[in-house]
Amino acid sequence: DLHPTDISPSSGLYSSEAPGGAGEIKTSHGPEQVPAETPVHPNVSATTTQAAIPVRAEDRMTPVPWGKVLSVGFTLLVNHFSIMLALPFLPFMVSDFFPDLPASQLGLQTGFLSSAFFLGQLCGAYLWGSAADTYGRRPILLAGLTGTLISVSLFGLSSSFEQAVGIRFLWGFLNGNVGVCKVYLSEILDDSNMAVGFSVLGMQAALGSLLGPSLGGLLAHPADKFTTLEHVALLQAFPYLLPCLVAATLAALGLLCTFLNLPETLHRKTTPPKEFPPEPDHRESKPGLVAVVTHDVRMALTFYGGLAFLHMGFEQLFPLWLLRDPADGGFSFTETQIG
């Protein structure tokens, strides 16, 4: 029945005359001994002395599995590198296929050739995502890198416009790693370290987008640029093969990193079986695509699609503008300068 402020030396309720330095609290039931190691102090309760020390956010963060994060990031680096690789030299490839076509008229054919890749991605993205949920993340990542390795090598060996368009479509269709990489990363991280992991993923994707056009423009027509390669008949016959082989080499390295460092995560988390009441026969066990695409998902897809439309439109128009003659408002840039 005592308030903490009533317990003070001046109130007479506290006595320090007990032997051993122990104090004594006088109550209506008689004196009670207070241990010496727990002195009573005005306005301070025992719970105050045991208050938890604040823990820093860094101390609560789960350690980042850097080997897996960097391997996933390298897979995405290969993806962005291969996509951006052909950006500087696609108009020049079209010009080689149509030598009589002026530079001011290359836009239509270049657009067909470039968009074939993204049409393939559009057709294959949902299939690869569904396959990753069925067969696992690891085999789909390996299959995507293998498809990139094969298709980018074949693209460098294209001998006609129709062949190049078909290979670009196949290249995009077999490249379904963007979504699977993000899903894999979300499964090996948690809320405390996900921001760090995804920032590394973004950095590696940006690095691939930086190196892709730079090397693609530099290594196109190598027999005309490097004296040591001017007598290589294969590079003279296929002037865009060398940058494609560089991308294929990176895809092979990504394949090796994925095989060695990325175990399957689809069934990594196991939970004990739970008993549920039987469901009606008319009830679906798995929601369909229509059920998943809610209003919020539609809004996110709309904004993301609009941003991608503007971004990709600029990337395709930019080299076409730079290679035009100054009289037509361009700069007469080479593929190296565009890259």
Measure the CA–CA gap between 83 and 89, rounded to whole angstroms: 12
Where does the pLDDT of residue 181 fall: very low under 50, low under 70, confident under 90, or very high at 90 and above? very high
Contacts 24+ apart (CB under 8 A), 28-32: 28/1
Rounded to the nearest 10 degrees, what angle do helices 194-219 and 177-188 cross at? 150
Q: Are 176 and 129 in contact (CB under 8 A)?
A: yes
Per-residue pLDDT tens over the stretch 237-286: 999 999 999 999 999 999 999 999 999 998 754 445 555 555 555 555 55
Where does the pLDDT of residue 53 fall: very low under 50, low under 70, confident under 90, or very high at 90 and above? low
Q: Is the pLDDT of residue 195 over 70?
A: yes
136: alpha, beta or left, given left = phi > 0 and alpha = psi -120 to 50? Answer: left
The whole-chain average pLDDT of the chain stands at 82
Q: Is the pLDDT of residue 63 over 50?
A: yes
With vertex at residue 91, the alpha carbon angle to CA 171 and CA 204, rounded to the nearest 5 degrees, is: 50
Q: Which CATH number fits domain 66-265: 1.20.1260.10, 3.90.700.10, 1.20.1250.20, 2.40.50.100?
A: 1.20.1250.20
Residue 16 pLDDT: 44
- Mean pLDDT along residues 280-309: 78
Give me the DSSP letters along 268-287: -S-------PPPPTTS-SS-
- Three-class secondary structure of residue 158 per DSSP: coil
Per-residue pLDDT tens over the stretch 121-141: 999 989 999 999 999 999 999
Residue 27: strand pairing partners: 30
Q: Is the pLDDT of residue 323 over 60?
A: yes
Place of tokens 């025992």: 46
DSSP one-letter code for 18: S
Where does the pLDDT of residue 17 fall: very low under 50, low under 70, confident under 90, or very high at 90 and above? very low
Length of the chain, in residues: 339
77 φ, ψ to 5°?
-60, -45
Neighbouring C-beta atoms of residue 170, cutoff 10 Å: 19
* Strands ordered across the beta sheet of 30-34: 14-15, 23-27, 30-34
Q: Which tokens in the block code for residue 264? A: 């399957």
Domain ranges of the chain: 66-265
- Mean pLDDT along residues 33-50: 49
Q: Which helix (H) or strand (E) holds 213?
A: helix 194-219
Residue 44: strand pairing partners: 41
